């Protein structure tokens, strides 16, 4: 049984092109998630894809503490350029700890903790994200295999584990700045992200 149900679809015009927005309800929690897609996803050719976890501060409030907003925009632009692909926008703020706990974690980071230490000090595992729902959203959209834009090997492993083949990994390095340098170094050093510089 799927962990999500497909609720509704509509067009979503953006500065880069017109996407189809599809809304999903997560059965276990009642949370809502969306997919932005373009082109026919159901053919055998692997689909350009991005799994983006919600980051209110980075996506909507222009935060430079992370690279989320930059990655979100770059991924949508890339999909629009190829006129085929999908971006999952998954409501798992702060690697799953939620917005208010993320602000607590930022406070600890202002005092010198790194992102992993801060989450652990608050009693959370470094990454609570659940990728079952992502695989189920992709399956509901008819996607069989991915060209996945990610620097995170866990996402690739999780997709394969939940039955979505990853044919190719496409690096997505955007938005590095003086404020997120330490955060990105922690992601590379402690969470296994594949970053170049």
Helix/strand/coil for 173: coil
Comparing CB distances to Zn ion, the nearer of 48 and 55 is 55
- Whether 115 has a binding-site annotation, put simply, is yes
Q: For residue 93, give the nearest of 117, 61, 49, 121 by alpha carbon.
A: 61
Q: How many positions of this chain bind Zn ion (CB under 5 A)?
A: 4
Among 34, 37, 50, 58, binds Zn ion (CB under 5 A): 58
The annotation status of 134 as a binding-site residue, yes or no, is no
For residue 172, state whether it binds Zn ion (rule: CB under 5 A). no
184 near Zn ion, rule: CB under 5 A: no
Chain centroid offset of residue 53 CA:
4
Give catalytic status of residue 91 as yes or no. Answer: no
Query: Does 55 participate in binding Zn ion (rule CB under 5 A)?
Result: yes
**Could you say whether residue 94 binds Zn ion (CB under 5 A)?**
no
Q: Per the annotation, does 102 bind a ligand?
A: no
Q: What is the DSSP code (8-state) at residue 81?
A: H
120 Cβ contact partners less than 8 Å away, ≥ 6 residues apart: 126
CB 196 within 8 A of CB 125: no
37-45, 51-59, 124-132, 176-184 -> range binding Zn ion (CB under 5 A): 51-59
Residue 197 annotated in active site:
no
Residues 68-87 that bind Zn ion (CB under 5 A): 68
Count CA within 13 A, CB hemisphere, residue 106: 15
Are residues 40 and 55 in contact, defined by beta-carbon separation less than 8 angstroms?
no
Residue 175 binds Zn ion (CB under 5 A): no
**CB proximity list for 59: less than 8 A, separation 6 or greater:** 52, 68, 69, 72
Least Å distance between CB 40 and Zn ion? Answer: 31
Which member of 66, 105, 137, 172 binds Zn ion (CB under 5 A)?
A: 66
- Is the CB of 162 or the CB of 183 nearer to Zn ion? 183
The CA distance from 181 to 89, in Å, is 24
Residue among 55, 59, 52 nearest 134 (CA): 52
**Sequence ranges of the binding site:** 50-55, 66, 68, 71, 93-95, 115, 150, 155
Contact residues: Zn ion, CB under 5 A: 55, 58, 66, 68
**Sequence ranges of the binding site for Zn(2+):** 55, 66, 68
Point out the residues that are catalytic. Answer: 127, 129
């Amino acid at each position: 049984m799927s962990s999500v149900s497909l609720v509704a679809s509509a067009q979503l015009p953006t500065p880069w092109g017109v996407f189809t927005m599809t809304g999903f309800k997560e059965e276990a929690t009642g949370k809502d998630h969306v997919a932005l897609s373009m082109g026919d996803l159901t053919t055998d050719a692997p689909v350009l894809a991005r799994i983006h976890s919600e980051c209110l501060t980075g996506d909507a409030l222009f935060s430079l503490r992370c690279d989320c907003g930059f990655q979100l925009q770059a991924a949508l632009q890339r999909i629009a350029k190829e006129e085929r692909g999908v971006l999952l926008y998954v409501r798992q703020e702060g690697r799953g700890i939620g917005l208010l706990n993320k602000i607590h974690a930022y406070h600890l980071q202002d005092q010198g903790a790194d992102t992993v230490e801060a989450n652990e000090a608050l009693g959370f595992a470094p990454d609570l994200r659940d990728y079952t729902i992502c695989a189920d959203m992709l399956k509901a959209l008819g996607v069989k295999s991915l060209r996945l834009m990610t620097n995170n090997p866990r996402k690739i492993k999780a997709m394969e584990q939940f039955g979505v083949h990853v044919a190719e990994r496409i690096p997505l390095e955007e938005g590095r700045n003086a404020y997120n340098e330490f955060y990105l170094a922690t992601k590379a050093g402690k969470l296994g992200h594949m970053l170049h510089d």
